[in-house]
Amino acid sequence: MAAGDYALSNSEKDGLYKAIFSRRDVRSHFIQKEIPDDVLLRILNAAHHAPSVGFSQPWNFVLVKDRSTRQQVKESFERERERSIKMLEGDREKQERYSKLKLEGILESALNVCVTYDPTRFGPFVLGRTSIEDTGVYSVCCAIQNLWLAARAEGVGVGWVSILSNEDLERLLEIPAHVKPVAYLCLGYVEEFAKKPDLERAGWLPRMGLSEVVCYEKWGRHESDDKWSGLASSLNNI
């Protein structure tokens, strides 16, 4: 192998990019099928091998199958959803559209996973976290993304339920006071992975073009100079 030539094979790259572009936030396509232990182990192991600031590995994965616990989490969702709907009282059209959206699969999925952040892991000093405290939470988000992509590769759907009370989760899952929930995920096999995200298909918001979010050298500079002309031309064709 030539120095610096560590690219994956074409078939490996195809699989990686397929997982990225076909990953979906699943809410309504779960089927009644258990996730085998070996599949779940691979998914969790992929999450556990995410990068983390100072190699702190500040995550935990609370696996939840108990029906009564999930029912109580669902009730927390319903309360928070109603609160969100009331925030839109000045926009009747958006309020009605929001009310019709399917936003969770807490009971329909095979398994729920609460991913948490422990800022005390390995002591108070974490290499690399001294200037930007949030890098600890960012590390947990990397683990969540690893989990999501590994699940997609295994044919398992994942839905992130963010309309929840963290206080409810802490109480229901007996999470220590110093540990914070970051994500509550619903995992399960699905009827399909939709071609587009649910909210994009529903017209809630449009997908932005890549050229709209790339800046050159400074924030807000969307016009490129000669250094970036080739990339800029390609961006406009995506």
Q: How confident is the model at residue 1 (pLDDT cuts 50, 70, 90)?
A: low
**Pure H helices in 154-205:** 166-172, 198-201
- In this prediction, residues 35-57 reach a mean pLDDT of 98
Q: Where are the domains of the chain?
A: 24-193, 208-238
pLDDT above 70 for 126: yes
pLDDT of residue 238: 80
- Chain centroid, CA 119 distance in Å: 20
Grouping H, G, I as helix, E, B as strand and the rest as coil, residue 215 is coil
The two three-digit tokens of residue 176, written as one number? 């220590």
- In this prediction, residues 142-148 reach a mean pLDDT of 98
Q: How confident is the model at residue 158 (pLDDT cuts 50, 70, 90)?
A: very high
pLDDT of residue 225: 86
Q: What is the CATH number of domain 24-193?
A: 3.40.109.10
Grouping H, G, I as helix, E, B as strand and the rest as coil, residue 95 is helix
pTM for the model: 0.94
- In this prediction, residues 21-35 reach a mean pLDDT of 95
Q: What share of the chain in percent tops pLDDT 90?
A: 89
Whole-number Cα distances in Å, 95 to 12, 16, 81, 92, 210: 44, 37, 11, 5, 29
Tens digits of per-residue pLDDT, 162-193? 999 999 999 999 999 999 999 999 999 999 99
